[in-house]
Amino acid sequence: MEQTNGTHNSSRKYLVRVQSDKVTYNNDVIQADYEYQTTRVTTQGETIVATPVSTNYQFQTKRHVPRTGLMLVGWGGNNGSTLTAALLANKHHLSWNTKEGVKDANLFGSITQSSTVPLGDEVYVPLNSLLPMVDPCDLELDGWDISGLDLAGAMNRAKVLEWQLQQQLVQEMSKMKPRPAAHIPGFVASNQETRVDNVITGNRQSMVEQLRKDIAEFKASRQLETVIVIWTANTERFAEIREGVNDTAANLLAAIRANHSEIAPSTLYAVASILEGCTYINGSPQNTFVPGCVELAEKHSTFLGGDDFKSGQTKLKSVLVDFLVSAGIKPASIVSYNHLGNNDGKNLSDPMQFRSKEISKSNVVDDMVGSNHILYQPGEKPDHCVVIKYVPYVGDSKRAMDEYMSEIMLGGHNTIVVHNTCEDSLLAAPLILDLALVAELCERITVAKRDASGTSEHQPLRSVLSILSYMCKAPQVPKGAPVVNALFKQKACIENVLRACIGLAPSNHMLLEHMVRFPLAKDAAKSASSNGCISLGH
């Protein structure tokens, strides 16, 4: 491994270097030739025919890590203020006293910063050591909010962080103030109007123009090379998909100019980001990415990702249901009850905003259920109920209670009941960081196809970044691609794409080197007489 200098983190940082004739490094790119193996399945009568398919690709990843800015929509909310505080605390190596002792700044919960992946020979390395990635403490922050409260006041209002930590951050965060936000009454709950004192005036077209100016000014003033924009504001109601309004890129832009009532603020941010060449990620469950928005991103070769941060209860659900279905156990009833007291919970107390959240949380088991036609008949699904209640007293400490009732052999039942208490923003903030860092890395990756006729031109990844699915409840995928909700598959996707970029085979966990026993040389003649059998075992 090649050691690099960690600018802010006191621990050593490494960058993996692969020695292979299929991988080359120069000053600009890491280039890897990669054989991608899949299986094509067809049916011939009552026989299912599986045909191995091998495709050769060439990955190129730019080694230069650009000076990167992160703009948050809802910067002054619980998630935005918590992430800002976390990055500053890590940058300055802060410590603070609590009733449980002294705590040090960390980024636990971030897979890019705090998880490891197998490299080989039982060696585990940080995920961010596979390829050059942005150092979180180097991120430049900015954003918008309907509340004009500075970030120190927003941090205090959120009541997420220990008081002594807040006191160390007040001076720096009080200088940070959100830009006026795009706000259209009716898309978020009416109970949010008491916070509204910092908005862009004018129609939808003027909002988009101002948002574009904000992005451009931020980029120029901080001398940034790239900007990622992430929605971490309140959940909006679903927008209606209407022919002639938001169904194509041209219609969407025309509808914005006409100030059409069904164009949501989140879509305005997405359009402004696309037109400024910025990646846009939706961290809430509303349908920001109407068909016209996706088409616009494809036309401008920019990236989109979402929807809805997957932090606590839904993440656990995507693990448990995958485990049960994979074990041949049939989940028949899934009931999820939540109560929380932060502003997200207050907004979700409105039925139209709750409906957006209910949809994103309810579809999380569909691919796992659909994978097993032995347990489920076509169209059959478990009874799935999601309840969210606003209880102000619990604040940001969300309670989630789940009951999973499953059918087992010979009519028996298995019931799993889970109580999960989580500090909501302390789980969501690391996801925002991971979304930004992985999305930025994707901007530097291009892929070419190799065959007998040669190597095609290198192309960027498709506009909809399905690689971000691990962090999202309702993953956005390119048209025609399968939606994967199973958590371990989503994590494996991230790890194996990064491995492909440096010419390493995917992690398959077969451990054949420990499973297969070959005869010793002196026993070769003896084993030949036994038909060359290979013994499998521990």
pLDDT of 143 strictly over 70: yes
pLDDT at 352: 67
Mean pLDDT of 102-114: 96
Phi, psi at 47, each rounded to 5°:
-105, 130
Which backbone phi and psi does 408 adopt, to 5 degrees? -120, -170
- Does residue 242 surpass a pLDDT of 90? yes
Q: Please, what's the b/e burial string for 497-507 (b: 16 or more CB within 10 A of its CB; e: otherwise)?
A: bbbbbbbbeee
Report helix, strand or coil for 276. Answer: coil
9 pLDDT tier (thresholds 50, 70, 90): very low
Q: Span 313-422: which CATH code?
A: 3.30.360.10
C-alpha 176: how far from its chain's center? 26
Neighbours of 339 (CB within 10 A): 17
C-beta separation of 108 from 193 below 8 A: no
175 is catalytic: no
What is the C-alpha separation between 100 and 304, in angstroms, rounded? 41
Q: Decide which of 361 and 333 is more confident.
A: 333
pLDDT recorded at residue 344: 73
- How far is it, in rounded angstroms, from Cα 167 to Cα 459? 48
> What pLDDT, on the 0 to 100 scale, is given for residue 126?
95
Alpha carbon 420 to its chain's center: 21
Residue holding tokens 């796992």?
A: 368
Q: What is the mean pLDDT of residues 374-386?
A: 92
Res 90: pLDDT: 97
pLDDT tens digits, one per residue of 342-366: 777 777 666 666 666 566 566 788 8
According to the model, what pLDDT value does residue 523 have?
52
Give the 3-state secondary structure of residue 467. helix
Residue 449's identity, in one-letter code, is: K
Exposure b/e, 42-64, CB count within 10 A at least 16 = b: eeeeeeeeeeeeeeebbbbbbee
Strand partners, 72: 143, 230
pLDDT at site 76: 96
Task: Work out whether strand 445-451 and strand 454-455 pair parallel, antiparallel, or are unpaired.
Answer: antiparallel
pTM, two decimal places: 0.90
pLDDT of 349: 66
| Options 142, 150, 308, 434, the catalytic residue | 308
State yes or no: is 104 an active-site residue: no
pLDDT of res. 358: 63
* Helix H or strand E encompassing 347: helix 343-348
Q: For residue 61, what are its two tokens?
A: 């990843």
- Coarse DSSP helix, strand, coil percentages of the chain, rounded to the nearest 5 percent: 35, 25, 35
Structure tokens that stand for 43 in this block:
């049916």
pLDDT in tens, 64-75: 999 999 999 999
pLDDT of residue 18: 95
pLDDT, averaged across the chain: 90
Q: Which of 357, 367, 396, 434 is catalytic?
A: 357
Burial 231-259 (b: 16+ CB within 10 A, else e): bbbbbbbbbeeeeebbbbbebbbebbeee
Give, in order, the Cα–Cα distances in Å from 512 to each of 110, 482, 507, 518, 531.
31, 30, 12, 11, 21
Average pLDDT over residues 398-427: 93
DSSP state of 312: S
Residue 340 identity: L
**345 against 377, higher pLDDT:** 377
Burial 72-104 (b: 16+ CB within 10 A, else e): bbbbbbbbbbbbbbbbbbbbeebebeeeeeeee
Catalytic residue among 135, 330, 398, 402: 398
- The predicted model gives 114-141 an average pLDDT of 94
Per-residue pLDDT, 22: 96
State the average pLDDT over residues 317-334.
Answer: 95
pLDDT over 70 (residue 25): yes
* DSSP for residue 309: B
Q: CB within 8 A of 44, min separation 6: which ones?
A: none
% of the chain beyond a pLDDT of 90: 73
Confidence grade of residue 32 (pLDDT, cut at 50, 70, 90): very high
* pLDDT given at position 59: 98
pLDDT band (50, 70, 90) for residue 520? low
3-state secondary structure of 255: helix
Give the model's confidence band at 453: pLDDT under 50 very low, under 70 low, under 90 confident, else very high: confident
Token look-up 């036309």 returns 299
pLDDT value of residue 362: 66
CB atoms within 10 A of CB 385: 13
Is 529's pLDDT higher than 50?
no
Query: From the CB of residue 326, how many other CB atoms can be counted at a distance below 10 Å?
Result: 13
Tell me: pLDDT of 531 over 50.
no
CA dist 397 and 342 (Å) reads 8
- Burial environment of residue 184 by CB neighbours within 10 A (0 to 12, 13 to 18, 19 or more): middle
Query: Is the pLDDT score of 6 beyond 90?
Result: no
Tell me which residue has tokens 């013994």.
535
Annotated active-site residue 473? The verdict is: yes
> Residue 537 pLDDT more than 70?
no
Is 357 a residue of the active site? yes
Q: How far apart are CA 140 and CA 69, in angstroms?
A: 5
Backbone angles phi, psi at 388, to 5 degrees: -130, 125
For residue 3, pLDDT over 70 is answered with: no
Confidence of residue 191 (pLDDT cuts 50, 70, 90): confident
Q: What is the 3-state secondary structure (H, E, C) of 355-394?
A: HHHHHHHHHHHHHHHHCCCCCCCCCCCCEEEEEEEECHHH
